[in-house]
């Protein structure tokens, strides 16, 4: 059969909303269809495997998956039909077994378009180490229940949900597997260059990451390198006891700092971990959260807390009820409010963006009114969420988009974004499980009656006075151009830079 004869081209998809005017809803339907087709593919592969096992007169559970007659034969057929390498075909058969035998509830999320095919693969990876049948069933149930209600599940969200289920269902197994994972530095070479890989713990990786940024950012505005290259040069300098200097060529460059200043900067490297007191005390196996990494199992949280360089700060939610903004500056949240909001969302709240919360701006969902703070958007967990600089710009200056944030009757915090074509994505705060009571902290502010014009931090200029109003049209165009430029610039930097870091 050639492609032109494929029955798919003749299927009428209009009854299910595909084929008319293209918009967000159509895109979503097509995305869901991919998941359904892959689910059906896995079922088919599994059925072939079962049939081959019957043929070979072995029970499927007794099949040694290296036995040529059964597993390899089916894998070879997959390889032949799909024209893929043997290793890819093996993986397909393995995923089929996972979808049918080990993670059937999660697989149904893929069938229903709740998670992508790639996210399913990520969940399988997280659950690989769980061998016990009862435990994997519990992981399947917990992960599926969590993701089904989440809304807008990215691959990172899927992996974190699975990691949390595994951590809480199988804490001993997780701890064992984590401790078996080796630490090493390896060097490999290929035709055009070489790689140095450090296999280490998530917390040390986070510290290294933050430290490289600290050094890499210590240059003046005339440095010619991208941030990715500066991070590389900083790493090489630190590992070889070399010097990291600004490359502007100016002998008097203020950025070329003496050793003492560099050490001072290092002292300011902070990596945030949020966990329950009960977890720290060893009374609970509830997981914690490491900013920039994700879910940490309870034992791991206790290990990190026991480090000599760890600083512990209680997060007082009861105290938060008495004040969410700093006294004297109602635009700035208190430290507790700031921490709680970043922790409960975990990442930038734009669907699909995995930028760690502590590298984001805290955005007032409804704009703060600097002239009349009590009338504008409140500095309160109900109206604050993290947005990376790129998405903060998009939210502030984008046209045709509507953002919202709601706390439902159960204290669950949701963000919502409606696209210009009218598609609404509603997402639960990713780490609602981490701080389930945050949304129940009573608000101490009134209704918003007069939101501010635009968020102060990113606003190029304000269009509020009468004089300025005369130029409203021109300003709109200017701001649109500025917005387009800012987006292009941010997109350029995101692509150009190794770690996808937007400009700060």
Report if residue 443 touches Zn ion, rule: CB under 5 A. Answer: yes
C-alpha separations of 502 from 165, 217, 358, 454, 492 in Å: 32, 13, 14, 21, 9
DSSP 427-479: EE-TTTTTSTTGGGSPP-S---SS--SS-TTT-SS---SHHHHHTHHHHHHHH
**Min dist. Cβ of residue 219 to Zn ion (A):** 6
Q: How many CB atoms lie within 10 A of CB 71?
A: 21
Question: Rounded CA gap, 493 and 487, in Å?
Answer: 10
Contact in structure between 392 and 458 (CB atoms under 8 Å) = yes
Nearest-approach distance from CB 493 to Zn ion, in angstroms: 13
- Pick the piece of the chain touching Zn ion (CB under 5 A) from 142-150, 246-254, 271-279, 328-336: 246-254
What is the distance between the alpha carbons of residues 395 and 389, in angstroms, rounded to a whole number?
10
Cβ nearer to Zn ion, comparing 177 with 272: 272
> CA 443 to CA 224: how far, in whole Å?
48
417 counts as binding Zn ion under rule CB under 5 A = no
Q: Left if phi > 0, otherwise alpha if psi is -120 to 50, otherwise beta: which for 155?
A: alpha
**Does the protein bind Zn ion through residue 438 (CB under 5 A)?**
no
Smallest separation, CB 126 to Zn ion (Å) = 23
Contact between 440 and Zn ion by CB under 5 A: the answer reads no
Measured from the CB atom, the residue of 37 and 443 that comes closer to Zn ion is 443
Q: Would you say the C-alpha torsion 333, 339, 340, 346 has a positive or negative sign?
A: positive
Positions 316 through 375 that interact with Zn ion (CB under 5 A): 348, 350, 353, 355
Among the listed residues 67, 137, 248, 425, the single contact to Zn ion using CB under 5 A: 248
Nearer CB in complex with Zn ion: 111/430: 430
In the complex with Zn ion, the residue whose CB is nearer, 82 or 220, is: 220
Q: Which CB sits closer to Zn ion, 121 or 152? A: 152
The verdict on 425 binding Zn ion (CB under 5 A) reads no
What's the min distance (Å) between Cβ of 157 and Zn ion?
Answer: 13
Binding segment toward Zn ion, per CB under 5 A, in 11-19, 264-272, 435-443, 490-498: 435-443
Closer residue to Zn ion (CB): 142 or 490 = 490
Locate 422 and state its tokens.
């009218």
Of these, 138, 238, 255, 262, which contacts Zn ion (CB under 5 A)? Answer: 255
In the 8-state DSSP scheme, what is residue 356? Answer: B
Minimum CB separation of residue 374 from Zn ion in Å reads 13
Taking CB under 5 A as the criterion, the residue among 382, 394, 438, 493 binding Zn ion is 382
Q: Does 220 engage in binding with Zn ion (CB under 5 A)?
A: yes
CB of 372 to Zn ion, least distance (A): 17
Interstrand relation of 424-428 and 329-333 (parallel, antiparallel or unpaired): unpaired
Is the CB of residue 8 less than 8 Å from the CB of residue 30?
A: no
How many chain residues interact with Zn ion (CB under 5 A)? Answer: 14
Residue closer to Zn ion, measured from CB, 163 or 395: 395
Q: How far is the CB of 405 from Zn ion (least distance, A)?
A: 10
DSSP 166-205: HHHH-HHHHHHHHHHS--EEEEEE-SS-EEEEEE--HHHH
Q: Is 246 in the site for Zn ion (CB under 5 A)?
A: yes
Q: At its nearest, how many Å lie between Zn ion and the CB of residue 490?
A: 10
Among 97, 234, 380, 394, binds Zn ion (CB under 5 A): 380
| 253 interacts with Zn ion by CB under 5 A | yes
Structure tokens at 451: 């939101």
Say if CB 379 and CB 332 are below 8 A apart.
yes
CA 211 – CA 205 distance, rounded (Å): 10
For Zn ion, which residue of 158, 388, 454, 490 counts as binding (CB under 5 A)?
A: 388
Q: DSSP readout, 261-293? A: HHHHHHHT----EE--HHHHTTS----EEETTT
Q: How far is the CB of 350 from Zn ion (least distance, A)?
A: 4
Q: Which residues of this protein are in contact with Zn ion, per CB under 5 A?
A: 220, 246, 248, 253, 255, 348, 350, 353, 355, 380, 382, 388, 391, 443
């Amino acid at each position: 059969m050639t492609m032109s004869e494929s029955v798919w081209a003749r299927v009428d998809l209009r009854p299910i909303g595909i084929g008319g005017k293209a918009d967000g809803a159509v895109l979503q339907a097509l995305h869901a269809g991919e998941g359904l087709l892959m689910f059906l593919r896995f079922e088919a592969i599994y059925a072939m495997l079962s049939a081959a096992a019957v043929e070979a007169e072995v029970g499927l559970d007794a099949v040694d998956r290296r036995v040529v007659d059964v597993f390899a034969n089916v894998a070879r057929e997959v390889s032949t039909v799909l024209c893929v390498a043997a290793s890819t075909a093996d993986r397909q058969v393995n995923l089929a077994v996972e979808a049918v035998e080990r993670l059937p509830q999660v697989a149904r999320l893929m069938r229903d378009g709740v998670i992508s095919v790639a996210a399913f693969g990520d969940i399988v990876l997280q659950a690989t180490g769980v061998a016990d049948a009862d435990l994997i069933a519990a992981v399947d149930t917990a992960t599926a229940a969590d993701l089904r209600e989440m809304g807008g599940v990215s691959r990172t969200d899927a992996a974190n949900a699975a990691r949390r289920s595994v951590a809480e269902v199988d804490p001993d197994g997780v701890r064992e597997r984590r401790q078996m994972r080796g630490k090493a530095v390896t060097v490999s070479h290929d035709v055009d260059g070489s790689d140095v890989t450090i296999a280490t713990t998530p917390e040390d990786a986070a510290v290294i990451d933050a430290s490289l940024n600290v050094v890499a950012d210590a240059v003046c505005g005339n440095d010619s390198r991208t941030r990715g290259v500066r991070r590389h040069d900083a790493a090489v300098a630190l590992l070889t006891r070399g010097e990291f200097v600004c490359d502007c060529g100016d002998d008097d460059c203020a950025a070329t700092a003496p050793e003492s200043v560099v050490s001072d900067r290092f002292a300011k490297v902070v990596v945030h971990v949020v966990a329950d007191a009960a977890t720290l005390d060893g009374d609970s196996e509830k997981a914690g959260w490491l900013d920039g990494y994700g879910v940490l199992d309870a034992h791991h949280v206790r290990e990190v807390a026991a480090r000599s360089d760890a600083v512990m700060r209680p997060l007082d939610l009861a105290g938060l009820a008495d004040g969410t903004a700093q006294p004297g500056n109602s635009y700035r949240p208190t430290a507790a409010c700031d921490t709680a909001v970043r922790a409960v969302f975990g990442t930038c709240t734009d669907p699909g963006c995995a930028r760690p919360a502590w590298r984001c701006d805290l955005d007032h969902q409804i704009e703060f009114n600097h002239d009349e703070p009590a009338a504008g958007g409140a500095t309160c967990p109900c109206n604050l969420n993290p947005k990376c600089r790129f998405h903060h710009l998009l939210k502030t200056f984008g046209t045709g988009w509507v953002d919202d944030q709601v706390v439902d009757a159960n204290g669950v915090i949701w963000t919502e974004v409606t696209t210009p074509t009218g598609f609404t994505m509603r997402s639960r705060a990713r780490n609602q499980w981490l701080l389930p009571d945050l949304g129940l902290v009573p608000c101490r502010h009134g209704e918003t009656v007069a939101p501010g014009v635009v968020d102060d931090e990113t606003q190029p200029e304000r269009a509020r006075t009468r004089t300025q109003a005369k130029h409203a049209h021109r300003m709109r165009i200017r701001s649109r151009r500025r917005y387009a430029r800012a987006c292009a610039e941010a997109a350029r930097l995101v692509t150009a830079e190794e770690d996808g870091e937007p400009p700060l």
